[in-house]
Structure 1
Amino acid sequence: MALSRRMAAPVVFVVLLLVATGTCAAETVTARVVADETHCLSQSHTFKGMCFSSENCASVCKSENFPSGECKMHGATRKCFCKVVC
């Protein structure tokens, strides 16, 4: 019983390490695909106030005929920027 308790921690650690490594590899491939696309940004003309929700920003950008949008820092404030693949 004492041997199995001593072996449990390293076995759990190795399993978690393998799971984490698999997840990171998938994210790297996804990041590589997104990096190949160049996005052009344009500050929204109709969004009012500071941008706290990228979902709100994307909704406003869609009304301005952009496919998506996100909040980004611009100086000391967060503004809504609409994105399109260039």
Structure 2
Amino acid sequence: MKLSPRLISTIPVLFMLLVATTGIGPVTVEARTCETSSQLFNGPCLSTTNCANVCHNEGFPDGDCRGFRRRCLCSRPC
């Protein structure tokens, strides 16, 4: 059986298409992070640890001082 040049050139194209659509390789998925201003934190946020503790008391897993105004922002996965 003799293979035609057209068939020979189609095989690599189909292989590349198969590899591209099956997603061979590691797939990483990152969760989004939702942030909101702390309701209980007063004054400028100077300590990230203090901000995180206040956010934890509000039911958030983490908190961070951000921005020019140094506000305490609580964060959690969405």
TM-score range relative to shorter protein? 0.5 to 0.7
Report the AA paired with residue 71 of structure 2. Answer: K
- TM-score norm. by structure 2 comes to 0.60
Number of the residue aligned with 1:6:
none
Residue type of the alignment partner of 1:59: N
Consecutive unaligned residues of structure 2, counting only runs of 5 or more, are: 1-27
AA of the residue aligned to 1:40: C
Match of 1:78 in 2: 70
Taking every aligned residue pair, what percent have the same amino acid on both sides?
Answer: 39
Deviations 1:7-49 (A, max 9, x none): xxxxxxxxxxxxxxxxxxxxxxxxxx7x812110010000000
Separation of aligned partners in 1, 2:30 and 2:47: 26
Name the TM-score, length of structure 1 as normaliser: 0.55
Task: Please give the root-mean-square deviation of Cα atoms over the aligned residues, in Å.
Answer: 1.6
Larger radius of gyration: 2
Show structure 1 runs of 4+ deviating over 4 A: none
Return the structure number with greater helix share: 1
